[in-house]
Chains A and B, each alone.
Chain A
Amino acid sequence: MSHRARQLKVSSLARVEGEGALRVTVRDGVVERADLQIYEPPRFFEALLRGRGYTEPPDITARICGICPVAYQTSACNAIEDACGVRIDGPIRELRRLLYCGEWISSHALHIYLLHAPDFLGYPDAIALAADHREIVERGLLLKKAGNAILELVGGRAIHPVNVRVGGFYAAPGRARLDHLAGQLRPALDAAIETVRWVAGFGFPDLETDHELLAVHDPAGYAIEGGTTVRRSAGPDFEVDAFSNHVVEEQVPYSTALHAALDGGRYLTGPLARYTLNHDQLSPLALGLAADAGLGSECRNPFRSIVVRAIETVYAVEEALRLIASYQPPEPSYVVVPARDGVGHGLSEAPRGLLYHRYEIGADGLIRSATIVPPTAQNQAAIEEDLRRTVAANLHLGDEPLTGLCERTIRNYDPCISCSTHFLELTVERS
């Protein structure tokens, strides 16, 4: 039996946030394993939250991710309010949704234009893309800036907003300032619509997946800032507080990111899951654009996630405009949330997928334990399966294009691993 080994090395995987290596082994035409190894320096958030005040997690956990801090702040607030037996509805909930729309617009625009589109167009980055198509990159920056404008007005700043607190907001912006913001969002809606049409024309590699899908569900609308249940593609919905009964994280020896499994199986959260499970709650405009872009009632090709992100961006701009039009400043801007002995669960839909927080707090207002399950931990098994399938279907490719395709397979997920360098090593052994 003769073996021929192929060694592919990329010293740095770019346009993602994460540090890792990939090892793929192929024997007799079968991909035996594909490990995505993450070397993120651990920061031990769950440990350092113990003994902190119950009002602190929104500010502290925001620092897990500079790209989706609102997701962390919102899931944290949802969990702590749940532990304290307080439910937030009405104008405060709507203001949270508006803030979160800002993060969706900003994060999706960042990923579509600066991180993901260069893959489809053959550029190393958006700067090089701008040299040939400046107007396209400017459109992306306009969109991203509109999202940041929402974050800056409602949250105080785009990265680690200061206005979010357990129970609501420190201060509610006045109507006049929001009307001014609406003026900035109208051109952003045109830019978002053009974005869908632009990405719909990209060439998409074939990759059909069979991951189970998981997303927050809210009967009131396309779930963003929270929901009543968790929806899945292969089983009945379950309650938010049952999340940890269904999703279990385990440690693997080659990664500092824990791997999550849904009832023992591989699953996927994020744009594809949200679209497939909740698309009937999208706006008529977003649904029409999705149909024009060739999306059906489900989307299972991760390479097409860029189209779904563009659709969600249109929806988020529309939703922000709708929330601004009906806005009445909540008075007061927050609900008092007294500490009590209890356990709380909180979910929200970060741009990259479902983000779960669980806190156990004491009557003294101190945190006893904290559990945080980020989207990338949940998606890691799905990413590895995609890599296996991509490699298996493209063994005829040379080293460089095959490695490039592996990197793109990872970038489809917009992984948010908060890291810098990557080491992608692809070893293919064939007999």
Chain B
Amino acid sequence: MDTPTLAVFKLASCDGCQLTVLDCEDELLALAGRVRIAHFLEASSAVRPGPYDVTLVEGSITTPADAERIRQIRAESKVLVAIGACATAGGIQALRNFGDVAEFASVVYARPDYIDTLATSTAIADHVPVDFELRGCPIDRRQLLEVLTAFLAGRKPDLPDTSVCTECKRRGLTCVLVADGTPCLGPVTHAGCGALCPAYRRGCFGCFGPMASPNVAALVPRLRAAGMSEDEVGRVFRTFNAASGGWSS
């Protein structure tokens, strides 16, 4: 059997999710022995043309060129995995979707007419079919290794779609919302981080986006009781996964 090929592409994003691949220090050289890294610009100047067995894409679609490019990437990829909040929900830059992108551009640039950008920042799945979406801002290293292992072995990744609370309780942490009165999005946020923020006595701020069927209506009064104003509640749901839609339904 031929060595499977891996490609990593990046659109509008911060590089953090592809850096997660390089942050697998203990597994990096082992991984390099199992796959042929055919396209991973951040890491290598050696680039091979597609098709690719597994492609990871970080970043959202914010330009006409990238909307075209993702179709090309899809055509060259057997398995396409969207990694991170930008690729799965549009990212923090999707705040433009609630505003006026021309006005945004005029704040940053003296000549916004030089800037070619779309009015919205959208997820990969809004443009092409994806085989798997790995959540997180940034993604979790262990989950990334599970996804790569699964697709290389020809099986589906085994990752939970429950809430952060389930990880928090398994970790034996005291609930920051109940015990400290700290506002926490854990009950409605997708698992995957390992309940990182509560371990630091911080409330979850939702960087993994909405869990499957979140009960937002039940949580909001608790956030208000914990001292958040209506505006603050509005803002806390509008960060890195603002445009995912999962919390507003």
Chain A residues near B (Cβ < 8 Å): 11-17, 41-48, 50, 52-53, 56, 59-60, 63-67, 69, 110, 114-115, 118, 124-128, 130, 134, 137-138, 141-142, 144-145, 148, 156-160, 162-163, 165, 169-171, 250-251, 253, 256, 258, 407, 416, 418-422
CB interface residues, B 1-59, toward A, < 8 Å? 9-20, 22-23, 25-26, 28-29, 32, 37, 41-47, 59
For A41, give its contact among B66, B197, B205, B207 (CB under 8 Å): B66
* B92/A63 in contact, CB under 8 A: yes
A48-B104, A63-B92, A156-B197 given; A114·B62 CB < 8 A: no
Given contacts A17-B42, A170-B200, contact A159 B19 (CB under 8 A): yes
B222 interface hit (Cβ, 8 Å): no
Q: With contacts A130-B29, A171-B200, A251-B114 known, is A47 near B108, CB below 8 A?
A: yes
B225 at the interface (CB under 8 A from A): no
**B92 touches which one: A48, A144, A419 (CB < 8 A)?**
A48
| Most chain A beta-carbon neighbours within 10 Å: one of B18, B46, B92 | B92
- With CB as the reference atom, state the residue of chain A lying closest to B101: A44
Taking A42-B105, A157-B196, A251-B114 as contacts, is the C-beta distance between A64 and B42 under 8 angstroms? no
Interface size on B, as a range, is 35 or more
| Structural contact, A162 and B25, CB atoms closer than 8 A | no
Is B162 positioned at the interface, with any CB of A under 8 Å from its CB?
Answer: no
Task: Decide yes or no whether B201 CB sits under 8 A from chain A.
Answer: yes
Measured in the bound complex, the distance between the Cα atoms of B24 and A158 in whole Å is 11
**CB-based closest 5 A-B pairs:** A66-B16, A125-B44, A14-B45, A420-B10, A124-B46
Q: What are 15 inter-chain pairs, A to B, with CB distance below 8 A?
A: A11-B47, A15-B41, A44-B105, A48-B93, A59-B205, A63-B137, A63-B240, A110-B22, A128-B46, A141-B25, A145-B26, A156-B196, A171-B202, A418-B15, A420-B42
Contacts A41-B62, A253-B111 hold; do A47 and B104 have CB atoms under 8 A apart?
Answer: yes
Q: Are A66 and B17 in contact (CB under 8 A)?
A: yes
- Chain B contacts for A64, CB-based, 8 A: 14
Counting residue pairs across A and B whose Cβ atoms lie within 8 Å, the total is 191
- Complex: how many Å from CA A53 to CA B229? 12
B212 at the interface (CB under 8 A from A): no
Cβ-defined partner of B16 (8 Å) among A67, A110, A165 = A67
Q: Besides the contacts A42-B115, A144-B23, what 15 more A-B pairs have beta carbons closer than 8 Å?
A: A17-B15, A41-B63, A42-B117, A47-B108, A66-B14, A125-B43, A126-B43, A127-B29, A128-B44, A128-B46, A156-B196, A156-B197, A170-B201, A253-B114, A256-B115
User: Nearest chain B CB to A411's CB is how many angstroms away?
Assistant: 10
Query: Is B235 in contact with A56, judged by CB distance below 8 angstroms?
Result: yes
Inter-chain contacts of A124 with B (CB < 8 A): 44-46
Q: How many whole Å from A19's CB to the nearest CB in chain B?
A: 9
A contact residues around B22 at 8 Å (CB): 110, 114, 144
Residues 132-143 of chain B, each 1 if its beta carbon lies under 8 Å from chain A, else 0: 000001100000
Residue of A nearest to B16 (CB): A66
Query: Which residues of chain B have C-beta atoms less than 8 A from A407's C-beta?
Result: 45
Tell me the chain B residues, 88-115 only, with Cβ under 8 Å from chain A: 91-93, 95-96, 99, 101, 103-105, 107-111, 114-115
**Which residues of B sit under 8 angstroms from A56, Cβ to Cβ?**
235
CB-based contact B202/A162 at 8 Å: yes
Q: Is the CB of B19 within 8 A of A15?
A: no
What sequence of 0s and 1s flags, for each residue 168-210 of chain B, a beta carbon within 8 Å of any chain A beta carbon? 0000000000000000000000000100110111100101000
